[in-house]
Structure 1
């Protein structure tokens, strides 16, 4: 069974909850979640995390107990360089607010750099056949065919225009880019990198236009959303929800449930969040014959909310679609 933390909820399930920030009530920024680390070459590691949210001035990245990188609050990934080959490294991330207050450390993540390759001056070939599609107004999905190398491809770098915005492992030939602007035309290219830090030529460009702002963002919504009511042994009714997490590069750990048009509760999955099917159950009262409308959305790794799932109508004592 998956473990999760309910951020806030009330018996009547009508109270909205927000993320702990460094601005309200003097609270420190929350610890970043969804932290991952993957070797980009024999001397670099790509560290990525879920954005904490508004009020974060910067993120500090630590290798062991040593601070090695600092990025602005608008970023949630960084390359840590000048590392040693064939070495295990431990990374954590902390958020800092505008008043200089630093929140707690994220959980530790580990990455092992590959062995160094001597006298390797040959770069990989360019990734082939890149293509993509817009996912609503704020995200795109990219894919490409694998590059070849005389040794091995260690990672792929995704560029937006002339700026590197993301990296994925060498065994991955697809990526989801979020945090884009509605109704905007973008150009993306992909480059392959080997263990010796040789970088391939750029792939041909993929040009995509995100949907207008009025778009519902359905492409970033949880999929296959189901809702049914259940009568417990104590005579109380519960709403059982299940869904498939939206696709995104990075862990999707937080969800918000809306009941009857209002935020009802938020939850954060602890440990390893579900990647296939997630579920959650909460109390909705003791009266039979009451109809509720429910929908759910996910907070994406870049800190923004994705689109809502389709709304389901369920009646206590009955079942939803």
Structure 2
């Protein structure tokens, strides 16, 4: 009897293929020309609006930021978003570290430390954090899968999105993060009872901060924040002061700038911004600057461009190829929409003044 046995050759492990750039970047991904047109048109409008600023440096910086932003958008659009969830915790760690670095080393402007001066530009970690929070929050919801209706998922998402907001310690920025968290919860399928509890809790906090605690001698809001709420509730003001000592000064100057623009605007003859009557005309009150410079027609065109972006965003949300894409689109769309509504609203007096 033969004892010879055939010995199978050892299995050779296939060599691991190195990941090529084409595995990450796909130049064939869809491109939305309408969305691109709206973004570029708004960038141009922002540069023209700032052309009337007291310092020409604002125009140069805005133009450079606009070109840089469009370039980054083109590059990022060629990356498949489906790969982003695998890097979620690395992105989140980078976001938190950036916000903490700005808080420790950044420059304070109007009571808020939101930017870090890097010499050639100011880095605002909270702005980048808004996008990264949407990416990480959407990833968290999708990864939870069937457990999306649990309180653990709801509270986990709130912690992920609202922690960077708390670290910034800025009221306006926190509102944007809160709006984004709400949109992620809604699109993510959070049960109605969870949303009801969150709504009631938020109402209790608001009433406590604005009424109960101040009545008990505990001041939660800073003096300038109290002044802003006072200006919103009593826009007529308590004095005829012509400087920043009147809480309603900013709002009155904003309304004056918008009203003086009329139908078609003053163009280069706009004075509220050039002469410094309109405070923060390049940032918080840029909508009023646009109103004076372009008038009702110009402002309507700008809002129409934002509406165009919102429409394309809703279309992306409704036609996304997967759940993660829809939730991510909802978060970014809510972030943009809320900022537009608050900035325009506070410039005309229908919302309290916040630094958005």
TM range (shorter): under 0.3
Structure (1 or 2) with the greater strand fraction: 1
Larger radius of gyration: 2
